[in-house]
Amino acid sequence: MHPADRPLDPASVFNAAARLSPHAQVTPVLTARSLDAEAGATLHFKAEHLQRSGAFKFRGACNAVFALAESEAARGVVTHSSGNHGAALALAARLRGIPCHVVVPNGAVEAKVEAIARQGAILHRCAPTIAAREAGCAQVQAGTGATVIHPYTHPDVIAGQGTAALELLTAHPDLDALVVPLGGGGLATGTALAIRALQRDCALYLAEPTGAADGARSLATGRLDHDFVPDTVCDGLRGALGAINFGHLSAFGAQVLTVDDADTLAAQRLLLQRMKQLVEPSSAIALAAVLTHRETFAGRRVGIVLSGGNVDLAGLAGILRG
């Protein structure tokens, strides 16, 4: 069975943790009393913005790359990405010494595209649509024999992403809830698997932009709803929820909390002002979900995954001004 066709199970997260141990950082868990007071809850921040390549994406990409058989790895890997997954896959491929191709949509944040190139990836530009991304990957695969490592539906990617929650829950087994950003659903699904793997009684909340709330609609209606045009500052959360992720998150009973961009940007400033942590809007949305839904989290012990910190520094003055 090809790795991309393997069923997902909680044990896969433990396997991923073992595979990643020589390569990934065990990121710190941060706290801030002033933010606890702001939220009316006890918050534990898993600092994945301090992960290699600046985001949790390295976990999944590295797990997928190092799970490949030698014959497959020699032909390289290919993916489509607007930023963090592409850079993470390129780094993982460089560590294994294999080629990496990344199909990048026009209009992607240039700082993130530069990060992909710095890691040694071969860039292929395409139109800014999912169909164009998929077509670009298929073309590269046909021409090179490279293995497609999808950003959020590949089982090894999902299992790798789950290791962030595995570390957090192992260090803090008394957490009542975990909050993670929701885009394509790789981190969310991996987190659900980690909770099951550790057999914890821990609720899972997914923070999703109001302007890209296909996950909220899909989980509410019980069917995938991809009829939307994303309109959000959270560039990492504009992808549509994957079918495999939808199935697992529905079965787990994960709850989606939608967040307006203004609240996400306010949370991004708070993290910088109170904790001196610079994260992306796609990461800050998890704190914003807790602050805008205080009644849900009041008095609880809450884990928050700060998913990435690859901010375009050209826009830093705007973040500070608010």
* pLDDT tens digits for range 132-185: 989 999 999 999 999 999 999 999 999 999 999 999 999 999 999 999 999 999
Structure tokens that stand for 240 in this block: 């549509």
Taken in order 6, 223, 55, 274, the sign of the CA dihedral is negative
Question: How far is Cα of residue 279 from the mean position of the Cα atoms in its chain?
Answer: 13
Q: Please say whether the beta carbons of 278 and 49 come within 8 A.
A: yes
Q: Mind listing the pLDDT tens digit for each residue in 250-273?
A: 999 999 999 999 999 999 999 999
Helices (H), 145-207: 155-171, 186-197
Q: What is the pLDDT of residue 226?
A: 85
pLDDT value at residue 227? 81
Q: Is the pLDDT of residue 4 over 60?
A: no
- pLDDT > 70? residue 186: yes
Alpha-carbon gap, residue 314 to 140, rounded angstroms: 32
Tokens of 119: 């890691």
Q: Does residue 3 carry a pLDDT above 60?
A: no
Kindly report which listed range (14-23, 56-65, 102-111, 303-312) carries the lowest average pLDDT score. Answer: 102-111
Query: What is the band of 320 on the pLDDT scale with cuts at 50, 70, 90?
Result: low
Q: What is the pLDDT of residue 228?
A: 81
272 CB-near residues (< 8 Å, 6+ apart): 278, 319, 320
DSSP string across 94-115: HHHT--EEEEEETT--HHHHHH
Q: Return the structure tokens found at 24.
A: 């990934």
Q: What is the rounded distance in angstroms from the CA atom of residue 104 to the CA atom of residue 86?
A: 8
* pLDDT of amino acid 136: 95
Q: Tell me which H or E stretch contains 128.
A: none
Per the CB < 8 A criterion, the answer to whether 102 and 121 are in contact is yes
Confidence tier at 5 by pLDDT (50, 70, 90): low
Per-residue pLDDT, averaged over 114-123, amounts to: 94
User: Could you say which DSSP state residue 55 is in?
Assistant: B
Is the model's pLDDT at 94 over the cut of 60? yes
Q: How many helices (H) and strands (E) does the chain have?
A: 15, 10
Shortest CA distance to 286 belongs to which of 305, 269, 299?
305
Q: Which of 79, 60, 44 has its CA nearest to residue 301?
A: 44
Of the listed ranges 42-46, 57-61, 103-107, 261-265, the least confidently predicted one is 103-107
Least confident of 3-17, 206-220, 254-268, 288-302: 3-17
| DSSP characters over 209-229 | EGGG-HHHHHHHHTS------
CA pseudo-torsion sign 282, 260, 290, 178: negative
Q: Are 182 and 237 in contact, with CB atoms under 8 Å apart?
A: yes
Is pLDDT above 60 for 1?
A: no
Distance CA 44, CA 29 (A): 6
pTM for the complete prediction? 0.94
CA distance linking residue 296 with residue 300, whole number of Å: 9
In contact, 29 and 174? CB cutoff 8 Å:
no
Q: Give the chain's mean pLDDT.
A: 94
User: What pLDDT score does 112 carry?
Assistant: 83
